[in-house]
Structure 1
């Protein structure tokens, strides 16, 4: 089969198109013919050597959608989707014509989604679910401020929060683009164009001085002071990233007096089996059209894999998909 592969870390130009042996399902495994696989910012960081634990040589790619062609008899021919913190890092990934996964990782693709759409869900929605639902335990009628709402994870969090019955305040440099799922949800928006105090003051104004029960900070670092200042008493902060700086100053007296809780969330710790279990929980929301993936911006073949990675590096709006 053909696959993108890299044997040293660097920019997208270290990726090469290779001919490698077709995978064969071993005991407890399945082989998936990849119909579509999105390119995530974390895939770019992986190739650059910025992610921990990656072993070389490696086929990258976390998210995928395709058809089972080898493995348990009852799964052969079934359309599936998947993602995982090990896929493309310690096991070969989805930017190839086929990949092998544990049979326990198989999850049926929502019928309403095309292969391309399904391949653009994994990292964003699993990360969003882990932080908003499993860590922060966001509840109906609570208020959540989503920092980075115009991005992939932020847009997923907005949809998850809306489905839970929470009130969603979007926070970003730019409003979600027209036609994106988040744009139809966000009725209250705070622009990240001032100081941390300005951002927090606006969120407090929108909440009658109370603040947000949950702040999901999909940016982190430069936004952490504003995120903390935006919380209500007993508020929960979810952090998934650190942009601009890895270190921030925290007023511990304010932290304990307001009983603030801070959660770090890393979907990279959840392998393809654990991630597949969460995709199974998400699937009904996509089949009912309550959840929608971000629009596909560009599609590439494997022979243009470097261009797909460069598009993500250039921060194209919308999802980039490789169709092997």
Structure 2
């Protein structure tokens, strides 16, 4: 039994408990910080252990859920074996894995140099963008912080641009991968990138117009889309994987197409709820906290 997978499951349970507390208390700082830490922990594996090992761990996280209710060695249309069972950390415990995971592993066991580099660039730069955007939203560009906010904002947008370009180039190959969903997967990843990057572009344009309120709300939406593209994408696979394993690629395609827009929507609604609560507090600077409609 892989101890690192079990330990990560334990961390996810803690994170779920933090979400329950956050909803009850209407304060999400601890939940968000813990989620960022888990993101860093998950993505660092690709750099510390190499891409094949990082992918084996990633697939191992889903093997438990995708095999729920199945006998050992029992397959399903959305499950597939891999050569020597090398694509998972579970050894012989699970011999069938999400088909998209097997394809993911096969593409990065011995990939072309460019594909390998693009994955590293995408992981590193999108992770950095997610971290920087939290700093930016926690420290609005008011007063003495304005110059630092502008500089870090430009850095963040540049980092996000690089990470998104890497994602788009990687996605351009997905049309030839049937277990991803072929052309539906390719266009879905383009859509995901468009939501994440498009909302950020609209935020930048608002900042250049001097519209701080609109700038902030678009950047909140972009941050939500980025959260969705990372965490909601993965959580949806946990839920839909076992439910839709009778239909190959259905689970993955739902995550690809829905995770970023849903993330943006959740962030937008949360921002409006927060603004409404702050508006009820006397003396609150409404211009800096109320999202533009």
Question: Could you tell me the TM-score, scaled by structure 1's length?
Answer: 0.25
Which structure carries more strand by proportion?
A: 1
Which structure carries more helix by proportion?
A: 2
Q: Which structure exhibits the higher relative contact order, with contacts defined as CA atoms closer than 8 Å and separated by 6 or more residues?
A: 1
Question: Could you tell me the TM-score, scaled by structure 2's length?
Answer: 0.26
